Structure 1
Amino acid sequence: MNIDHIEAFLYVVHYKSIHKAANALFLSQPTVTARIKSLERELGVELFYRDGRSVSVSEKGKDFLPFATQIVQTFQQGKKQLEETQETDEVCIGANGVTAQYFLAYALPKWKEQFPYLRFQLFTGSTTNILEKLQSHQIHLGFIQYVHGDDIENELLLNNTVKLVKHRDHPLQLDELIQAKELAQQKMVFFECGAFDWNYVHKMFEVEGVAANIEVRTDHLEVAKEFIRTKDYLSFLPHLCIKKELESGEFVEIDVKHLLDMNQHIFLTYKEKETLPSSFWQTICETAKHFESIGDTY
C-alpha cells in the first residue's frame, strides 16, 4: 500500500474536492485522481461518491478514514524519529587558531580516511567564542582551553606548553641554566595570542627587575618563526606550532622551567556525544596521541 495514495485520500476527504486537494499537495488533478483510483482498486471498494465534479466520501471511505489517518500519522512520526536520531554527516568544529592550523590540519585528512562520508566545517576563534557556539548548538565540539559551562564536558587532549626557542645557529650558548637577566639582553619577537596568558612571561622579568628586549610583536605564528630563522631572535611559542622545527633540530628549546612553566592544554570540549558516531570520538583521541608521539612527522 502506497503512503502517497493514502495521503491523497485524506486530502480529498479534508477539502471535499480533488481540485483543492491537488493544489494543496502541489500535484496535478489527474495525478490525485489516479492515486485515489489505485487505492480503491487495492482495497476493492469505492471510497468516494462522484457526482460530476463534486465528490463525497462513501460509507466504506468513512470506515477506512480512521485507519488511513493512523497509518499516515504513524509514518510521519517514524520519519521524524529517524531524522532526530540519525547521525549527522557534517561535523562542525570550533578551535583556536593554533590548534586549527597545526593539529587539525594533520588530523582532518586522517579522520576523512576512516569516515569518508563525513564532511567538516571549521570555525576558528577565541575560547569564549567557541564556548558560545557550543552552548547554542552551532558546533558539535571544540578544541580549546578548559572551560566551565552548563552541560559542558572537557577531555584533556593535547599538551601545548609554551616553550622558549631559538634557531640552532643563534649565538646564545646553553651550557648552563639561563637566568632572566641574561634573557633580557637577547632580542625577542613576541607572539601575542589571546589563547595564552603572557602575563606570566612579563612577570618573570619583573621579578628580576629587568624588562624583556622585545623588538617585534606579532599576532602571526609563521611571522614569529621567520624572525627566529634570522638567527637573531628568541621567542616564546606554543609547542604545537614548533613541533616540526624542534624535531628536525632547526629550532632548539631553551630550558626556562626554573623561571617559568606555562602549561597550556587543549581540551576536547562538547555538550553531547550522541550526535556523532561513537567510533569518531575514539578516533579523535587516538589521532591526538599519535600526533604527539611522532613529533609531527607528517
Structure 2
Amino acid sequence: MNIDHLEAFMYVVQLKSIHKAADALFLSQPTVTARIKTLERDLNTELFARQGRGLLLTEHGREFIPYAEQIIQSYKEGKKIMKERDEQEEVIIGANIITSQYFIPFALPLWKRGNPQLRFKFISAPNELLIEKLLQKQVDLAFIKDTTNDGLQKQQLLDNSVRLVVYPDHPLQYEENITANRLAEEPMVFFECGAFDWNRIHKLFEVGKVEPRIEFQVDHLEVAKSIIKSRCAIGFLPYLCIKNELASGELFEIDVAHLIQIKQHVFLTYTNQEVTKWRLWKDIEETVKKF
C-alpha cells in the first residue's frame, strides 16, 4: 500500500471529484484514477461507485476513511520527527590528545544526557590544528592549552599541571626538601610530548649540574604511567593522566615546588561569544566540577 494512493483516495473523498483531486495534487486525472484503482486492488474491494459523471463512496469506502486518515496522519507525524532530527543542531567539539583521553569520555555522555536536542561531533587533534579549525569555523569549542590569538576567546577550565609521581612506599615519600641531586639518583621515565615544556625539567638538572637517570623515554602517557606503577621508575606526568591514581593511592605526588613548578591548564576556547548562551555552556562548567 502506497501513501500516495491513500492521499489520492482522501482528496477524492473530500472534493467529491477526480478532476478536482487531480488539480489539487498537480496530477493528471488518469494518474489519480490509476492510484484509486491500485488501492482498490490492494484492498480487494471497490471504494467508489460511478453515478453518471460523479462518484459515490461505497459502504466499504466509507468504512475505510478513518483508517486512511490514521495512516496518513501517522506518516506525517513520522516525517515531521525525521525532519526535526535531520535539522538537529550539531555541536562540533575538539580537544587536544590528553584532554581527549582523560576528560572527554567522562564529559560527552553527561552533555548528551543534558542536551538531547544536540548532536555531538568530536575531534581529537593537536593544539595547533584545533586552533586552525576554530579560526576556520570548523569547530565550535576546543579544549586546548593556553594560546594568545586575537580571534579567539578562552576560559580556564582544567588543571593539568605537571607533577612528580612515585609508586607507593617509594623512599621519596618520606623525605623532605628533596634536591635535584637526590632526584638524579632515581631511575626516571620521561614522557615526551609537544604539549608540555619538558625543557624546564631538563633545566632543573642542568642547574644542579647533574645528569638524570632517564632509563625510559616514551611518547605515550599510559606507557609512562604503567612503568611508574610497576615500580621501575619515577616520573613527571600531567595531572589529568594521574588524577584517578592519585585519588586511589596507586601513585603518590612528591612535592618539588621548591625546585620546579609547571603550572598548566586546559582552556575552553571558542570564536563566537554566542556559545556562552548555550545551555551546554553551563553543563560544561558543571561537568568540570564533577570531574
**Scaled by the length of structure 1, what TM-score is found?**
0.67
> CA contact under 8 A between 2:173 and 2:254: conserved in structure 1?
no
Structure 2 equivalent of residue 190 of structure 1: 190
Structure 1 vs Structure 2 CA RMSD: 2.5
How far is 1:128 from its partner?
A: 1.0
How far is 1:172 from its partner?
A: 3.7
1:202-213 paired onto structure 2 within 5 Å:
202-213=202-213
Higher Cα Rg: structure 1 or 2? Answer: 2
Q: Which amino acid aligns with 1:215?
A: E
How far is 1:287 from its partner?
A: 1.1
How far is 1:285 from its partner?
A: 1.3
1:20-99 paired onto structure 2 within 5 Å:
34-35=25-26, 89-99=89-99
Structure 1 equivalent of residue 221 of structure 2: 221
> CA contact under 8 A between 1:189 and 1:216: conserved in structure 2?
yes
How far is 1:33 from its partner?
A: 8.8
Q: Percent identity?
A: 48
> CA contact under 8 A between 1:165 and 1:237: conserved in structure 2?
yes
Structure 1 equivalent of residue 100 of structure 2: 100
Between the aligned partners of 2:233 and 2:196, the Cα distance in structure 1 is 20
1:1-298 paired onto structure 2 within 5 Å:
34-35=25-26, 89-274=89-274, 278-291=278-291
Between the aligned partners of 2:23 and 2:186, the Cα distance in structure 1 is 84
Moved more, 243-252 or 269-278: 269-278
Between the aligned partners of 1:177 and 1:207, the Cα distance in structure 2 is 16
Between the aligned partners of 2:164 and 2:256, the Cα distance in structure 1 is 7
Structure 1 equivalent of residue 7 of structure 2: none
Between the aligned partners of 1:245 and 1:196, the Cα distance in structure 2 is 21
> CA contact under 8 A between 2:88 and 2:117: conserved in structure 1?
no
How far is 1:232 from its partner?
A: 2.4
> CA contact under 8 A between 1:91 and 1:119: conserved in structure 2?
yes
Between the aligned partners of 1:31 and 1:257, the Cα distance in structure 2 is 84
Secondary structure (helix, strand or coil) at the match of 2:257 reads coil
How far is 1:36 from its partner?
A: 9.1
Q: How many residues align?
A: 215
**Scaled by the length of structure 2, what TM-score is found?**
0.68
* 153 and 175 in structure 1: CA distance in 2 versus 1, 3 angstrom threshold: same
* 202 and 31 in structure 1: CA distance in 2 versus 1, 3 angstrom threshold: farther
> CA contact under 8 A between 2:88 and 2:119: conserved in structure 1?
no
How far is 1:192 from its partner?
A: 1.1
How far is 1:290 from its partner?
A: 2.2
Secondary structure (helix, strand or coil) at the match of 2:274 reads coil
* 94 and 31 in structure 1: CA distance in 2 versus 1, 3 angstrom threshold: farther
* 275 and 154 in structure 1: CA distance in 2 versus 1, 3 angstrom threshold: closer
Between the aligned partners of 2:150 and 2:289, the Cα distance in structure 1 is 28
